[in-house]
Structure 1
């Protein structure tokens, strides 16, 4: 089972239990290990599904052990939440050009708004930039961190709808980025350029230059698409 498919299995399992009322607000989810064993998927896939559920506002996770560890259900999927969960599941089937256009709209707005704040919280985004500098990363690992970086910027915006939409598109974003790898001749050069572009976006946000932040993230997203999806235009 592919990793993407695996975490969707976890997501769909929990969603169906919520919708059927077998899980209700206040209930605790089984721990990662138990979910992993019950559904036959890896713990990393369980973690990814729980992270999506948390972004969508359905659960809150708590670290530690004992009776209060794990995740507690805080909401049942309403129409809107259910739609977003289906978006997450459907995202890999969307046309790449549509995902890219949506990213350009959302992420340009996010970058501009963050630049207009006096103290944007970029700690999570910057940790991911440091992680992407690690020389031992495979391209797939790099692109997973890359997708997480873009989601971290959305989360820093504090806009729950944009954050949930970006979380919903995440599998589609990572999917087309991976598919594009086949068209990159020199990965070390491309990854170095992508890292530089990420840093330049954060630098523009830090400098309070909203125009530069918007332009840099727009060029970064459209540049990778142009480089890797020439045939799809």
Structure 2
């Protein structure tokens, strides 16, 4: 194990045990170095890693704001790390489709269930606001004259928004990290479609159907429509697998 990893391990243990909390400060460089038997440069390296991960925020100087403070920014660093990892690997088409179906159908089912339970369809709560954002993307996709690339950029945004409706930060982060991969594969599939204009009309109708099912609290229908929508596009683009 590298020396800086000892610091990461210690911080993880202190967070898990409650010895470090949101807003708390890491011990100083000298204290950590002596405690773990490592050099101060190794401690500084660990703090830079923690800052890049969004776990701490640092400020120089000797005042009350100086040092490394524990902060909570769970989605942005996770998304960045996942995107970097995805960029280094060629992802099998089947794996992308299967992951999308798992995440998005669950999110649609969960969101619809929340609407049914809370009556959010008629309210001004956070969930209703998120659904209106998704509907705004649908309105932009309904505009005439969009190129396939413009359409699918909006489409990727819509599906990320769809996954975020359930309020699960991890699901939303994974979908956000998949955005580039989804857009790339979908756009590459367009030439395989026999009639892009007809396909776009069908995709728009399917999008609206999914949103309508969520808004009306039809959880099973929303999940089924999402699954059919995702798998159906790849079959239409002749990118299907025997397992679908």
In the superposition, the TM-score normalised over structure 1's length comes to: 0.65
Confirm or deny that 1:135 pairs with 2:144: yes
Aligned residue for 1:171? 180
Q: Which has the larger radius of gyration?
A: 2
Aligned residue for 1:155? 164
Q: Which secondary structure does the structure 1 equivalent of 2:165 belong to?
A: helix
Structure 2 CA distance for aligned equivalents of residues 132 and 82 of structure 1: 27
Structure 1 CA distance for aligned equivalents of residues 240 and 171 of structure 2: 29
User: Cα deviations across residues 3-47 of structure 1 (Å, max 9, x unaligned)?
Assistant: xxxxxxxxxxxxxxx6497997368xxxxxxxxxxxxxxxxxxxx
Structure 2 CA distance for aligned equivalents of residues 212 and 21 of structure 1: 43
Contact 1:115 1:205 in 2 (8 A): yes
Aligned residue for 1:212? 221
Q: Relative to 1, partners in 2 of residues 1:181 and 1:158: Cα closer, same or farther, differing over 3 Å?
A: same
RMSD: 2.7
Counterparts of 1:194-233 in structure 2, within 5 Å, are 194-230=203-239, 233=242
> 1:56, CA displacement in angstroms?
2.7
> 1:89, CA displacement in angstroms?
2.8
Aligned residue for 1:109? 106
Aligned residue for 2:82? 84
- Give 5+ residue unaligned stretches, structure 2: 1-47, 60-72, 121-126
Structure 2 CA distance for aligned equivalents of residues 163 and 214 of structure 1: 16
Q: Relative to 1, partners in 2 of residues 1:26 and 1:126: Cα closer, same or farther, differing over 3 Å?
A: farther
Structure 2 CA distance for aligned equivalents of residues 231 and 203 of structure 1: 27
Aligned residue for 2:57? 25
Aligned residue for 1:188? 197
Confirm or deny that 1:57 pairs with 2:57: no
Number of aligned residue pairs = 169
Structure 1 CA distance for aligned equivalents of residues 101 and 238 of structure 2: 16
- Give 5+ residue unaligned stretches, structure 1: 1-17, 28-53, 59-79
Structure 1 CA distance for aligned equivalents of residues 209 and 230 of structure 2: 13
In the superposition, the TM-score normalised over structure 2's length comes to: 0.62
